[in-house]
Amino acid sequence: FEANGHGTVLFSPGAVDVLQRLADGTDTRSTHPRPADVDSEEAGGMASPQAAARRLLRVRRLVNQAIGDALSDMLLVRAILAWRGWDAARWDSMYSDLPSRQTKLAVVDRNAVVVN
């Protein structure tokens, strides 16, 4: 996400396909064991690949992949905080602000700069 809170999460069709197969239990390429589909707290701190894939597919339905939607970003953060059992103060205590500076630089020919 951008520093101002906008941005979005994009899921490629290939990633969605892999997540769907993991969620359905039909991914034969995975070498991970398939423990019972339980939350991470019940599985000793580690969610099963199937449970994690289902959770990510739900995230895909929540975020707006078309535009940087700050409201859906905020809802996603709130959902993650609730799932982890954290409040906003705990999450904020993890953040360390780093200096940021934007500078405008004059160049002789702005067309000489090519950005891919």
Provide the domain count of the chain: 1
Task: Decide which of 2 and 53 is more confident.
Answer: 53
Q: Report the distance separating Cα 15 and Cα 108, nearest Å.
A: 43
Q: Report the distance separating Cα 21 and Cα 49, nearest Å.
A: 10
pLDDT of residue 39: 47
Whether 110 maps to a domain, the answer reads no
Whether 113 maps to a domain, the answer reads no
For 63, the domain range is: 13-96
pLDDT of residue 32: 53
Answer whether 0.85 is exceeded by the pTM: no
Least confident of 23-27, 82-86, 98-102: 98-102
Mean of per-residue pLDDT scores for the chain: 81
**Stretch 6-13: mean pLDDT:** 84
Question: Are the beta carbons of 95 and 30 closer than 8 angstroms?
Answer: no
Whether 2 maps to a domain, the answer reads no
Whether 34 maps to a domain, the answer reads yes
- Type of residue found at 60: R
Whether 17 maps to a domain, the answer reads yes
